[in-house]
Amino acid sequence: MTPHQIELVQDSFVHVVPLSEETAAAFYERLFQIAPGVRRMFADDLTEQGRKLMLTLTVIVDGLDRIDQLLPIARELAVRHVRYGAREAHYDAVGMALLDTLKVGLGPRWTEELAAAWGAAYQLLAGAMIEAARKAA
């Protein structure tokens, strides 16, 4: 990721944080549309899961300019997710759900450049997580 892409992601996330509950709910709704089979991996009440999602996103977005510190956290998260039943194929669905949710939530702020920046951030982290998951499996 370029410094400009990091700045774009961090600046846009400021507009997401005030709508954390709505964003998390929209994310899971979209994820379950894309990959209905993953629904069974989650509790019926997604409130706490949504809080964890938004906290994780906050840590990730804040840490993008310190990627050397962020990647070990992402790898640990991936190993935990393996125990929950996460598979490599789920990463594409999660990425698509995240980008779709951000696009809707950010409305006119969402541009091709911002989409590319968020996509780069997701691919960077997903790549590290997939690698760690493979080693853990």
Residue 54 tokens, joined: 């938004």
**How much is the mean pLDDT over the chain?**
94
Domain membership of residue 62 as a residue range: 3-136
Q: What is the pLDDT of residues 104-122, one digit of tens each?
A: 999 999 999 999 999 999 9
Handedness of CA 79, 84, 90, 96 (dihedral sign): negative
User: What's the whole-number mean pLDDT along residues 26-44?
Assistant: 94
**pLDDT tens digits, 58-86:** 999 999 999 999 999 999 989 888 888 88
pLDDT the model gives residue 60: 94
pLDDT at 81 (0 to 100) = 85
Q: Is the pTM of this model over 0.85?
A: yes
**Structural domain count, the chain:** 1
Assign residue 15 the CATH number of its domain: 1.10.490.10
